[in-house]
Amino acid sequence: MVGPPGAGKGTQAQILASELSIPKVSTGDIFRANVSGGTELGNQAKTYMDRGELVPDEVTNAMVRDRLAQDDAKAGFLLDGFPRNVAQAETLNKILGELDELLDVVLELRVDKEEVVKRLSGRRSCRNCGHVQHVDYDPPKTEGVCDSCGGELFQRDDDREETIRRRLEVYDEQTAPLVSFYDNEGLLVPIKATGPVEDVTARAMEALRSRT
């Protein structure tokens, strides 16, 4: 899945991966788990994430290479937040070649900037299960408590206004070129990512069915 910060990649990845019974590989989630766990990888990633910059490609690519080689990814996987620049996309093609696999489809989640800022500033994520909610669009039944597992909801460090702005710039400069990259490979399917979450899921499932 490709799309700007706040497009709903994580929200859709969780639903689609469960519908399709395949793992979702969310590089942002893996980095955040490492930051909370205080690992070497987490320490390396944190300074970049806090500034809204991309973590260096060597670090990110090695992490994805390991993840995709695991047994549960043999029957398919859904990538959320990777690749994020053309160099990562080229490395992904190499990794897939080594694993004798191909991408079926690249879903481009389309949302305008104003909506993205509203979504990110009101986002809350569960510390326990990673479920994502929103203070206005998907308010928790009890404030601060995850509807899915009862865990604690928190606001991500990089959802501060100035960091959101930088993440959007980084998207335009480095990630947006992937749209034409994957269009040239014949893999791109743009999807309207506004409106109810279920409607976006239905559009994504339709796109997947038409390509797999």
Taking the chain, what is the end-to-end CA distance rounded to the nearest angstrom?
15
SS3 39: coil
CA pair distance 132, 144, nearest whole angstrom: 12
52 scored as a contact of Mg ion (CB under 5 A): no
Rule CB under 6 A: which residues touch ligand AP5? 3, 5-11, 27-28, 31, 48-49, 52-55, 60, 81-82, 84, 88, 119-120, 123, 132-134, 137-138, 158, 167, 197, 200
Contacts of 63 (CB under 8 A, 6+ apart): 27, 30, 41
> Least distance (Å) from ligand AP5 to the CB of residue 148?
12
Residue number of the CB closest to ligand AP5 reads 28
Output the six-digit token pair for 68.
């995709």
**Catalytic site residue 156?**
yes
- 195 dihedral zone (left: phi>0; alpha: psi -120 to 50; beta): left
SS3 73: helix
**Catalytic site residue 110?**
no
Q: Positive or negative CA dihedral for 115, 116, 121, 125?
A: positive
Angle at Cα 146 formed by Cα 165 and Cα 81, nearest 5°? 40
Strands (E), 12-100: 24-26, 78-80
Q: Which does 191 bind (CB under 5 to 8 A by kind): ligand AP5, Mg ion, none?
A: none
> Least distance (Å) from ligand AP5 to the CB of residue 95?
13
Q: Which does 132 bind (CB under 5 to 8 A by kind): ligand AP5, Mg ion, none?
A: ligand AP5
CA pair distance 99, 101, nearest whole angstrom: 5
Q: Which is nearer to ligand AP5, 33 or 208 (CB)?
A: 33
5 scored as a contact of Mg ion (CB under 5 A): no
Q: Which does 31 bind (CB under 5 to 8 A by kind): Mg ion, ligand AP5, none?
A: ligand AP5
10 scored as a contact of Mg ion (CB under 5 A): yes
Whether the CB-CB separation of 106 and 2 falls below 8 Å is answered with: yes
**Catalytic site residue 167?**
yes
> Least distance (Å) from Mg ion to the CB of residue 39?
20
Catalytic residue among 24, 32, 67, 123: 123
> Least distance (Å) from ligand AP5 to the CB of residue 126?
11
> Least distance (Å) from ligand AP5 to the CB of residue 135?
8
Q: Could you give the residue numbers annotated as active site?
A: 9, 84, 123, 156, 167
Binding positions for Mg ion, rule: CB under 5 A? 10
